[in-house]
Amino acid sequence: MPASPICSVNDFVVRFANVNGSGSASANELFARAVLRMGIPVSPRNIFPSNIQGLPTWYEVRISGDGHLGARGGVDLMVAMNPQTWDKDVTSIEPGGYLLYDSTKPLPTSKFREDITVIGVPLTAICNKEYSEPRQRQLFKNIIYLGALSALLDMDVAEIEKLFGEQFRGKEKLIPPNVNALKLGRDWALQNLKCPIGIRLKRSDAVGDRIFLEGNSAAALGAVYGGATVCAWYPITPSSSLADAFTRHCNRLRVDAESKQNKFAIVQAEDELASIGVVIGAGWNGARAFTATSGPGISLMQEFIGLAYFAEIPAVIFDVQRAGPSTGMPTRTQQCDVITCAYASHGDTKHVLLFPENPTECFEFGAHAFDLADRLQTPVFVLLDLEIGMNHHLCRPLKWDDSRRMDRGKVMTAADLDAGKDFGRYLDVDGDGIPFRTYPGTHPTRGSFFTRGTSRDRYARYTEEGAPYADNMQRLLRKFETAKDLVPRPLQANSGKPTKYGVIYYGSTSPAMDEAIHMIEAAGHNLDRLRIRAFPFHSSVASFIADHDFVYVVEQNRDAQLRSLIVNECSIDPVRLVPILHYDGTPITARFIARAIGDHIDTLKVTPLRKLVS
């Protein structure tokens, strides 16, 4: 069925289908960066298997002059470089879309579609003519298709060449061959194809001073700025790059200039149990410490997390969520550890959770988490997900106030103890539920105490008496109340018109929600929005729900975990919270949200049967 070719300037989705381990990732990222350098917002996503070499991988670049940064869904231009996934890739192209493929070997017409524009470039032939070494052939083929794309999409080729210069700083020998490969593809396309095609790029100034980075790297930088000195971790996708980034940042920012010694200690532990054990030991001893993990790691850490809650030891846990349960889909995104983290460990426990929406907030919350952990003397979870953590995002520049100081919380010093201050490790002196602590080694005769996971009285003396146990558990609840005003507040954005409907969302759903709201409004509906940024919930969460008849809760998990948490913690009638759930492992899209909410509003507006009959 013929369809007219899609025509669009600065608003389309390009998807690269590759084989992992073929060196395509850096060429594809180069494409995204070059678009960005043309002043056009992009949001790239790496869709990769849990594998090192040989399996299908995709890189999707959404180009949006209007600045929509969430996943869109659908593909306008497919760069199909993987025969394994050819059929599925061709099927996924939008009607009127484009297919770029390696035409060295002819393919039967049955392999194509009539309603798309097929663009063949003999990549292998061009490559083999120029290069003889197999590895060169493989790597430069990626640059050759980038060259062809630059012609087809009317890209500013100078930006790509500038990026080569930056990428190969210190290895300048590599620049000319890359420029040459780029030119090979570009020239072939200009000479043999109609350039540009219907979708194309035009220089813009919609990027501004925004930066482009991954959430894991930003969170790790937050840990550096937040004063973390001890990191213990165990490799697990998608969090390993957070620990790697911390190592990299520390090597650059935290090595003493004179002694060349490290102002940090990073231990790759034997498992997640040891990781959190090291973090708790260091936190107990007055260092700021963290681990980075994902859902399976959180499951393993449960016993220790309960210890840190009950014995009141600061710890920061970055959980880069991936699709569970069990090993689940290790390289796919979800927001599925909300309840596991909120109530981690046996017995009555509750934990502080932070929900950053993008890398900027990963940095901010990453630093803030250490103040919260010290102030509240408890584990603090920063819940990223694969979408935020492992993809580059265009976001606000990072800011730091130089007058800011670490808040080490209530710590009694040797001078305090000498002055005769009453020290009870679990004594609430001012009603906020937070007791004072001492670091080991503070004073020769005062302020020592025994830390344990067993019950104790206000002076840290072991007891199995009911009353002091209940007293302690009540104080922990008071402390959790105190936390409500210390954690990042929810952000509310009201619709221009009064409305009975609201929507609650959090974390990586943010960009899709920001875009969906325009679609929902265009359909004639109005929604007030509340973005939750932390647990425990601030009182404004309950009042937002009270102000609306229905509130949609948009999440990326099957069981509506945040909704359950709201129902449970704010005593809300579940009927008032409508779950909007996306959990297939791909990032949620504006199209999905707008459709799901629109459908629900439409059902609400169905005329009652009685009226129809009468």
Q: Footprint of other proteins on residues 293-332 (CB under 8 A)? A: 303-304, 307
Backbone φ and ψ of 401, nearest 5°: -90, 115
Which residue's CB is nearer to other proteins, number 200 or number 446? Answer: 446
Helices (H), 193-269: 215-225, 240-253
Complex with other proteins: residue 114 or 400, whichever CB lies closer: 400
Closest contact distance (angstroms) between CB of 28 and other proteins is 18
Scanning 126-134, 150-158, 256-264, 558-566 for contacts with other proteins by CB under 8 A, the matching segment is 256-264
Coil vs helix vs strand at 536: coil
Alpha helices in 458-551 (DSSP H): 466-484, 510-522, 539-546
Q: State yes or no: residue 573 binds other proteins (CB under 8 A).
A: no
Considering the complex, state which of residue 253 and residue 604 has its C-beta at the smaller distance from other proteins. Answer: 253
x/- binding map, residues 258-297, to other proteins, per CB under 8 A? Answer: -xxxxxxxxx-xxx-xxxxxxxxxxxxxxx-x--------
Ordered alpha helix ranges (H), 353-407: 359-376, 386-390
Answer for which of 86, 168, 449, 469 binds other proteins (CB under 8 A) is 449
Q: Which is nearer to other proteins, 259 or 603 (CB)?
A: 259
Tokens of 294: 């994902």
Q: Pick out residues in 399-418 that bind other proteins (CB under 8 A).
A: 399-402, 404-406
Kindly state the smallest distance separating residue 444's Cβ from other proteins, in Å. Answer: 5
Whether 73 and 353 have beta carbons less than 8 Å apart is answered as no
Are the C-beta atoms of 512 and 593 separated by less than 8 Å? yes
- What phi and psi values does residue 122 have, to the nearest 5 degrees? -75, 70
Backbone phi and psi for residue 60, each to the nearest 5 degrees, phi listed first? -115, 130
Residue 605 binds other proteins, judged by CB under 8 A: no
CA angle 174, 44, 502 (to 5 degrees): 160
**Does residue 214 sit in helix, strand or coil?**
strand
- Residue 441 sits in the site that holds other proteins (CB under 8 A): yes
Binder of other proteins out of 91, 129, 172, 462 (CB under 8 A): 462
CA distance 563 to 535: 12
For other proteins, the closer CB: 105 or 399: 399
Q: What b-and-e string marks burial along 71-85, b requiring 16 or more CB atoms within 10 Å of the CB?
A: bbbbbbbbbbbbbeb
10 Å Cβ neighbour count for 132? 8
Does position 443 bind other proteins by CB under 8 A?
yes
β-strand 11-19 against 56-64: which pairing, if any? Answer: antiparallel
Does residue 544 interact with other proteins by CB under 8 A? Answer: no
Q: Give me 212's structure tokens.
A: 């482009």
Q: In the bound complex, what is the minimum distance in angstroms from residue 271's beta carbon to other proteins?
A: 7
CB nearer other proteins, residue 13 or residue 274: 274
**Is 572 among the residues that bind other proteins (CB under 8 A)?**
no
Query: What are the two backbone dihedrals, phi and then psi, of residue 266, each rounded to the nearest 5 degrees?
Result: -120, 125
- For residue 211, state whether it binds other proteins (rule: CB under 8 A): yes
Cβ at position 275, least distance to other proteins in Å: 8
**In the complex with other proteins, which residue's Cβ is closer, 112 or 449?**
449
Q: How many residues bind other proteins (CB under 8 A)?
A: 74
**Min. distance of Cβ 89 from other proteins in angstroms?**
31
CA distance 222 to 197: 43
Q: Does 452 bind other proteins (CB under 8 A)?
A: yes
Query: What three-state secondary structure class fits 506?
Result: coil
Distance of closest approach, residue 429 Cβ to other proteins, in angstroms: 20
The reply to whether 54 sits near other proteins by the rule CB under 8 A is no
3-state class (DSSP) for residue 255: strand
Task: Please say which residue, 128 or 454, places its beta carbon nearer to other proteins.
Answer: 454
Q: Which of residues 381-400 bind other proteins (CB under 8 A)?
A: 397-400
